[in-house]
Amino acid sequence: MTIELTVDDTAQVRLWHRVSQFLFREARLLDEWRLLEWYDEMLTDDIRYAVPATDVRDEADALGLIDDDAARLRQRVEQLLAGEVWCENPRSRTHRMISNVEVLIDRGTHLDVVANVVVHRFGHRRSDVYVGKYRFALVVDGESFRIRRRVVVLDHETLVEHGKLSIIL
Amino acid sequence: MSTELRWPVGDPIVLDDRERLSFRVDRRAYTDDDLAEREMTRIFDRCWLYVGHESEVPAPGSYVARDVGGRPVVMARGSDGVIRVFANSCPHRGALICSQPAGRARSFRCPYHDWTFSNRGDLVGVPIPDGYGPSFRKADFGLAQHRSDSYRGFVFVTFDPRQPRTLTEYLAGATEYLDLIDDQSEVGMEVIQGAQLHGARANWKLMMENSVDIYHFRALHKRYVGYMESLGSVPPRRRGGFGRALGWGHGANELPPAAARPLAYWTPMFGAEVRPRIEATAARFVDRFGAERAERITGTNRALLIFPNLMIIDAIAITIRKIDPIGAGQMAITSVALAPKDEDPDIRELRKSHYLTFLGPAGFATPDDIEIIESCQRGYLNRAVRYSDLSRGMNKAVPETTDELPAREFWRQWDRLMYGDDEHPEVVQRVERQGAEVR
């Protein structure tokens, strides 16, 4: 049996595929510590990268764990690559699993995308797992996209076990 | 193992030699499970402990549930407006009567048998009451209420019914610093929503020491300092600063700002736009408090250690850091930001942004602190090196902030509580003030 796709369906499948490929590439660059490439090629100039607190997740005024503008995120990348972050020197190995990718809103040039993510981190005799949800605002950029807003909502109650969050999730 | 590497039981942990200007701490203090257990009864069951800030329970019925000194408690503002701290355990069979971390409630209901308690702690509902005889009185089964009190909005509790000191007496010289913090708003200070709940695989005392250790700042936090300088942070206009002993193990460092203060010390890193507002605030404080005290409130940084496990760091942002032991080799850290309730929204954003730059599990400084104290904890596995040294500044009448006076004060009180005379703690108490170490 074959399933016939309407023109609309085909476009949606294509979009979903392109978005998923984009997220997978991002995961690969981050896992391979190709952070400058990631910063230069996948983000907009007005990128906002945020990780909300684990006790208050949806309050706009709340203090989170990370709320980087482009300059601070760039600094974070440079510190990581320069080996200035003691807990990432030597570099940890990370392994991102992304699933449940959904395009929630498609405004043609702008997309709201969510996905589930699990990041495993190994190094310094530790193994940490970060589990959460990606909430991305993407901007269409030719055949690909750029990330304008990158929010990682962690599901953990606390980070008592992890202590720190030294990688880019 | 050679016998030299064995430690005789009963050797002192804290070696405080004021003749030879030597101060050493036996590293068993960080690793020994028996000592960790003893700390819970000798220190956490006896001291006044920080629970939270009044602004976290702003309205009648507001509550927060958290652990204090290893015990689950509820801090609730009753319908009568009074803040009380209860044991979070049903007087009937023990279940938590409150499993939400925060909220607002007229009453708490234990899910086990539906016993219901008012937000003032009274038992108000018992299902199927005919199962009890005439001697059963609801008044005997209210929530266990702990002795609590607050100073300038900071709520503390003590689990020791024989604790001889009031909270204000216990806080001793630390009140001066809490005043300097709470005076930063005429309408009151508030905890900003969103706690950083993290921890470290290290003994809790290492984080206390680290929080009053400014000696490490330029070495360990190069990346933070570098970033701040790239933003236009300028060196302090005044040199100096000093460490102080405040009594009962409390201590503080006080120093000129290294960068800027949202209230109220402007430097170019804050941007020209907010300059008039920050300088107007500074001027208003001069009017209210006079130049000298205003400078101390608005133009000076401080790190306050309140024994045993509270740090309040008032610098480019204010953080309240509560540090809880989980056995000898792990701790939980709860960090929240404190700010004036009436803060200008733009300046609040600056404060939050700079808080995150430095602080928390993903800041540009705190993760390095955590990594380094975890590294110390690992280093202690090599027991051939028996002592840590905390003697910096013993050679000075007024130790500097790069000295270790507050840490020594912490350890002296730790030693008194762990090994002093239970009935007469005053006998071994020796309060040191104004940074001068009694010899």
Say whether pLDDT at B424 is over 70: no
How sure is the predictor about B409, in pLDDT bands with cuts at 50, 70 and 90?
Answer: very high
Kindly list the residues from chain B whose CB atom is less than 8 angstroms away from the CB atom of residue A77.
Answer: none
Q: What is the pLDDT of residues B23-65, one digit of tens each?
A: 999 999 999 999 999 999 999 999 999 999 999 999 999 999 9
B interface toward A at CB cutoff 8 Å?
101-102, 192-201, 220, 222-223, 226-227, 230, 326, 330, 332-333, 336-337, 352-353, 355-357, 360-362, 364, 366-368, 370-372, 374
Task: Please indicate if any CB of chain B lies within 8 Å of the CB of A166.
Answer: yes
User: Among residues B429, B181, B385, B180, which one has the least CA distance to residue B292?
Assistant: B180
Whole-angstrom distance, CA of residue B251 vs CA of residue B246: 5
Residues of B in contact with A124 (CB under 8 A): 371
Q: What is the pLDDT of residue B436?
A: 40
**B1 pLDDT more than 90:** no
Ordered by where they begin, the domains of chain B are 48-158 (2.102.10.10), 189-427 (3.90.380.10)
Q: Is residue A2 assigned to a domain?
A: no
Give the pLDDT score at A1.
60
| pLDDT at residue B439 is higher than 70 | no
The residue type found at B99 is S
What are the angstrom distances between the C-alpha of B399 and each of A127, B118, B390? 41, 51, 12
How high is the pLDDT of residue A71? 94
Establish whether the linkage from the previous residue to B164 is cis, with ω within 30° of 0.
Answer: no
| Nearest chain B Cα distance for residue A57, angstroms | 8
B317-348 pLDDT, tens digit per residue, is 999 999 999 999 999 999 999 999 999 999 99
Q: How far apart are CA A7 and CA B87, in angstroms?
A: 63
Give yes or no for A75 touching B (CB within 8 A): yes
pLDDT above 70: percentage of residues in chain B: 92
Q: Is residue A165 part of a domain?
A: no
Over 70: is that where the pLDDT of B235 sits? no
The CA distance from A168 to the nearest CA of chain B, in Å, is 9
Q: What contacts B3, CB < 8 A, 6 or more positions away?
A: none
Identify whether A85 is part of a domain: yes
- pLDDT surpasses 80 at B233: no
- Determine the Cα–Cα distance for residues B196 and A160; give it in Å rounded to an integer: 10
Q: Which among A79, A163, A165 has the least Cβ separation from residue B200?
A: A163
- For A164, which residue in chain B has the nearest alpha carbon? B361
Instruction: Give the model's pLDDT for residue A60.
Output: 85
Averaged confidence pLDDT in chain B: 92
Q: Residue A146 pairs with which residues in a beta bridge?
A: A139
Taking 70 as the threshold, does the pLDDT of residue B405 lie above it? yes
From chain A, the residues in CB contact with B223 under 8 A are 79, 84-85
pLDDT of residue B225: 87
Q: Note whether A64 and A83 are within 8 A (CB).
A: no
Q: Please answer whether residues B382 and B388 qualify as being in contact, where contact means their C-beta atoms are separated by less than 8 angstroms.
A: no
Which pLDDT band holds residue B421 (cuts at 50, 70, 90)?
low
Chain A residues within an 8 Å CB radius of B194: 52-53, 55-56, 59, 62-64
User: Does B101 sit within 8 Å of A56, measured CB to CB?
Assistant: no
Which amino acid is present at B161? P
Write the CATH number for A144: 3.10.450.50
- Report if residue A143 sits inside a domain: yes
A161 occurs within a structural domain: no
For the cut 80, the answer to whether the pLDDT of residue B382 exceeds it is: yes
Say whether A67 and B356 touch across the interface (CB within 8 A): yes
* A93 contacts: CB under 8 Å, gap ≥ 6: A31, A121, A122, A123
Q: Does A54 touch chain B (CB under 8 A)?
A: yes
**What domain count does chain A have?**
1
Give the tokens for residue A119. 């990041």
Q: What is residue B435's predicted lDDT score, i.e. its pLDDT?
A: 37
pLDDT of residue B239: 65
Please check whether residue A168 lies inside any domain of the structure. Answer: no
Q: Give the global pTM.
A: 0.93
Q: Which of B307, B328, B326, B368 is nearest to B67 (CA)?
A: B326
B198 CB neighbours in chain A (<8 A) are: 158-160, 162-164
Integer Cα distance of B228 and B269 in angstroms: 8
Closest CA to B147 of B84, B235, B228: B84
The per-residue pLDDT for B3 is: 39
Distance from CA of B277 to the nearest CA of A (A): 21
A51 within a domain of the structure (yes/no): yes
pLDDT tens digits for range B104-135: 999 999 999 999 999 999 999 999 999 999 99
Task: Report pLDDT digits (tens) over B54-63.
Answer: 999 999 999 9
Residue among B192, B332, B360 minimizing CB distance to A65: B360
Q: Do B194 and A160 touch (CB under 8 A)?
A: no
Surface-to-core class of residue A23, CB atoms within 10 Å of its CB (0-12 exposed, 13-18 middle, 19+ buried): buried
pLDDT of B192 > 50? The answer is: yes
Q: Give pLDDT tens digits along chain A (169 positions).
A: 667 778 888 999 999 999 999 999 999 999 999 999 999 999 999 999 999 999 999 888 999 999 999 999 999 999 999 999 989 999 999 999 999 999 999 999 999 999 999 999 999 889 999 999 999 999 999 999 999 999 999 999 999 999 999 999 9
Phi, psi dihedral angles at B414 (to 5 degrees): -55, -45
Give a yes or no: residue A111 inside a domain.
yes
Q: How far is A53 from chain B (nearest CA, A)?
A: 6
B192/A63 CB distance under 8 A: yes
Task: Inspect the interface and report whether the beta carbons of B368 and A157 lie closer than 8 Å.
Answer: no
Distance from CA of B343 to the nearest CA of A (A): 13
| Distance in angstroms (rounded) separating the CA atoms of residues B148 and B133 | 34
Residue B417 and residue B36: Cα distance in Å, rounded? Answer: 13
- What tens digit of pLDDT does each residue of B249-297 get? 999 999 999 889 999 999 998 999 999 999 999 999 999 999 999 999 9
Give the domain extent around A74: 7-154
Contact B325, B191 (CB under 8 A): no
Torsion over CA: B418, B419, B421, B422 (sign): positive
Inter-chain CB proximity A63 and B336 less than 8 Å:
yes
C-beta of residue A119 within 8 angstroms of C-beta of residue A23: no
DSSP B283-313: HHHHHHH-HHHHHHHHS-EEEEEETTTEEEE
Look at the block and give the residue holding tokens 């760039």.
A74
- In this model, does residue B425 exceed pLDDT 70? no
